[in-house]
Amino acid sequence: MLKTLLLEAYSWEYPNNRLLAKDIKQRLHDGEIVSFGLDPYCMMLERVTLYLQAIEDETRLDLVRRCFYLKVCEKLSRERACVGWRREVVSHLVKEWGWDEKRLMMLDNRANWKIDEVRKAHNELLDAMMQSYRNLIRFARRNNLSVSASPQDIGVLTRKLYAAFEALPGKVTLVNPQISPDLSEPNLTFIHVPPGRANRTGWYVYNRAPDMESIISHQPLEYNRYLNKLVAWAWFNGLLTSRTRLFIKGNGIVDLAKLQEMVADVAHHFPLRLPSPTPKALYSPCEIRHLAIIVNLEYDPTAAFRNQVVHFDFRKLDVFSFGEEQKCLIGSIDLLYRNSWNEVRTLHFNGEQAMIEALKTILGKMHQDAAPPDSVEVFCYSQHLRGLIRTRVQQLVSECVELRLSSTRQDTGRFKALRVSGQTWGLFFERLNVSVQKLENAIEFYGAISHNKLHGLSVQVETNHVRLPQVVDGFASEGIIQFFFEDADNDNGFNIYILDESNRAEVYHHCEGSKEELVRDVSRFYSSSHDRFTYGSSFINFNLPQFYQIVDVDGREQVIPFRSQVIAAATLAAGEDSATSSMLQHYS
């Protein structure tokens, strides 16, 4: 925080900057050999304080003072036998700031902060960092500054910010673990509110036992429409541990035994701490690493079998079209997964088509060159036929993942037929994605297969005979814009293959000009036209386009990150830019 604000202070002083290093030399020349004023952190605090006071930003000034105090680790609310120079300096500053004993005790007790205090501090830091980032962006644009940075470096940096701070539906927000070492709670109560009540329908979690007086008088820690997201939030943020007592008021949807079983499964399958993602992983499309498929947690069709006589043939037992009514026994599916950028995501599906929708979503998040997930687990919480349902879902998912990541990519007509609730569905494994089609009869079934072979890819190209290079297919990833450069034969310019967030493709042949300038202009366009670094609206876009070069290595095409010696950073883009299509036409 202090270093970021120092950069902002420098930008405010520009072009009349005076670096701290020069200040140190000047003070040494002036005879200040022994002085706390020569301490680097004290000098940074002094310069940042002057800047924030000049612009009358008392909010961030108070925050940076608290950060400085915590950084020094001199707990002034506790007596010390000896008083060193650091404690003397901090005591002088605290007195100057007018802090009382209550504030000192609160800061000195940081090791015991729980989720409310930590989340408040986390949001304060994030707001301040985003404000600094916006100010630095505006400064760079105003002065038309550029830096020597490769697209790969920029891509890694923006992905780190995206993975850490982007707030998305279903994404589990991880509170900064460095603020407090222990967020565990002795009690957690999960309460479900059904439709038609004053509060929103869904699940609420409280950090206390289910005494209604204490529940009513306190705000919930977190809300979500689905239980899976709340359990994941509590587990990955460290509130939920093996020592936590669980309580639930589930209105018959989920009981305590089912909740405890789910928590145990999640805890066993997902380790809390993993190594940080490598730069290579951050620059590459994200891949699912650990996946849990949670079946019938909130809606269990087999619960209707209780005290009933159910007629079915063991020889034709199909959990997706069960019994005479051909009912699907999969009522709800929750996905919980961690990807290669260390993001934790959740998704929920319910209804008779939950299995189809979940399967399509899982496969859509796997590009063809992706490594298989490190682990895929199916957790089933049905009252009846639990083992059978779990095994069948596990088999189906494994088979479809194998088809998606199969090396036989030349066969664009690969498909999987699945009968759900008495209806036949076809999953078509196309080059860039997986599509699903309902098949009413045999003629439609085989017609869809032949259509898929001929029209497996929707692409805007110059002629109907041009196809994307196969190596591009393997790198296609949903959710990001990807540019692939390919040098044309006989020095006839270069080709550009562009995949948008939905893997729709555009191809531009024999482009002229500089790739470096094109990358810079495209990056500027996305940086300026999507300038959405506003945390208050929970909408921060760090996912800038990614650039690659197709190269020939020993007769085989490979994709490598596009590199250049000097290129303007995307985040330091300046000026107004035209639409992407017009820029590309300029280079074509």
* pLDDT tens, position by position, 351-371: 999 999 999 999 999 988 889
Distance CA 129, CA 133 (A): 6
Contact assessment for residue 425 and residue 356, using Cβ atoms and an 8 Å cutoff: yes
Total tally of structural domains belonging to the chain: 4
- Does 410 lie in the same domain as 338? yes
What's the residue count for the chain? 588
pLDDT above 80 for 345: yes
pLDDT tens for residues 369-413? Answer: 889 999 999 999 999 889 999 999 999 999 999 989 875 555 555
pLDDT above 50 for 529: no
Burial class (CB in 10 A: 0-12, 13-18, 19+), 81: exposed
pTM (2 d.p.): 0.78
Question: Is residue 126 assigned to a domain?
Answer: no
pLDDT of the residue at 165 = 80
- Of 108, 132, 157, the one marking the end of a domain is 108
- Does 445 lie in the same domain as 331? yes
With H, G, I as helix, E, B as strand and everything else as coil, classify residue 349: strand
Question: Is residue 181 assigned to a domain?
Answer: no
Amino acid found at 240: L
Neighbouring residues of 347: CB distance < 8 A, sequence distance ≥ 6: 170, 334, 335, 358, 361
Question: Is residue 522 assigned to a domain?
Answer: yes
pLDDT of the residue at 438 = 86
pLDDT of the residue at 511 = 78
Position 457 confidence tier, pLDDT thresholds 50, 70, 90: very low
Question: Is residue 431 assigned to a domain?
Answer: yes
Neighbouring residues of 200: CB distance < 8 A, sequence distance ≥ 6: 193, 223, 225
pLDDT above 50 for 11: yes
Joined tokens for residue 216: 């009513």
Beta-strand runs (E) in 69-112 = none
Average pLDDT over residues 336-346: 96
- Does 299 lie in the same domain as 256? no
Q: Which of 24-38, 303-317, 318-332, 423-437 has the highest mean pLDDT?
A: 318-332
Question: Is residue 36 assigned to a domain?
Answer: yes
pLDDT of the residue at 192 = 95
With H, G, I as helix, E, B as strand and everything else as coil, classify residue 272: coil
pLDDT above 50 for 572: no
Question: Is residue 170 assigned to a domain?
Answer: no
Torsion from C-alpha of 565, 568, 571, 575, nearest 10 degrees: -170
pLDDT of the residue at 297 = 97
The 10 Å CB-count burial string (b at 16+, else e) for 277-312 is: bebebbbbbbbbbbbbbbbbbbebbbeebeeeeeee
Position 586 confidence tier, pLDDT thresholds 50, 70, 90: very low
| Domain containing residue 409 | 284-454
pLDDT of the residue at 292 = 98
Distance CA 317, CA 368 (A): 33
Task: Pick 120 or 431 by higher pLDDT.
Answer: 120
Task: Pick 462 or 557 by higher pLDDT.
Answer: 557
- Does 428 lie in the same domain as 383? yes
pLDDT above 70 for 570: no
- Does 326 lie in the same domain as 293? yes
Question: Is residue 157 assigned to a domain?
Answer: no
- Does 332 lie in the same domain as 257? no
Question: Is residue 176 assigned to a domain?
Answer: no
pLDDT of the residue at 222 = 96
Cα 434–chain centre separation: 22
Average pLDDT over residues 93-111: 95
pLDDT of the residue at 531 = 41
pLDDT of the residue at 448 = 56
- Of 424, 454, 484, the one marking the end of a domain is 454
- Does 369 lie in the same domain as 318? yes
- Does 533 lie in the same domain as 433? no
pLDDT tens for residues 265-306? Answer: 999 999 888 898 998 888 888 899 999 999 999 999 999 887
Task: Pick 545 or 224 by higher pLDDT.
Answer: 224
Q: Closest Cα to residue 111, out of 77, 70, 145?
A: 70
- Does 325 lie in the same domain as 445? yes
- Of 219, 240, 269, the one marking the end of a domain is 269
What mean pLDDT, rounded, does the chain reach?
82
With H, G, I as helix, E, B as strand and everything else as coil, classify residue 96: helix
pLDDT of the residue at 309 = 59
Strand partners, 238: none
Task: Pick 281 or 519 by higher pLDDT.
Answer: 281
pLDDT of the residue at 149 = 63
Cα 6–chain centre separation: 29
Joined tokens for residue 493: 């310019």
Which ranges constitute the DSSP H helices of 373-437? 386-404
Q: Is 441 left (phi over 0), alpha (psi -120 to 50) or beta?
A: beta
pLDDT tens for residues 463-493? Answer: 334 478 888 888 887 777 888 999 888 777 8
pLDDT of the residue at 532 = 36
Contact assessment for residue 363 and residue 469, using Cβ atoms and an 8 Å cutoff: no
Joined tokens for residue 98: 């007018």
Distance CA 134, CA 142 (A): 12
CB atoms within 10 A of CB 230: 24
pLDDT of the residue at 441 = 52
Residues above pLDDT 70, as percent of the chain:
82
- Does 413 lie in the same domain as 336? yes
- Does 413 lie in the same domain as 356? yes
pLDDT of the residue at 443 = 47
User: 209 to each of 188, 246, 260, 439, 513, how far by Cα in Å?
Assistant: 7, 8, 16, 51, 67
- Does 332 lie in the same domain as 439? yes
Position 133 confidence tier, pLDDT thresholds 50, 70, 90: confident
Contact assessment for residue 137 and residue 77, using Cβ atoms and an 8 Å cutoff: no
pLDDT tens for residues 145-204? Answer: 776 667 777 778 778 888 888 888 899 999 877 899 999 999 999 999 999 998 899 999
pLDDT tens for residues 226-245? Answer: 999 999 999 999 999 999 99
Distance CA 220, CA 229 (A): 15
pLDDT of the residue at 538 = 35
With H, G, I as helix, E, B as strand and everything else as coil, classify residue 434: strand
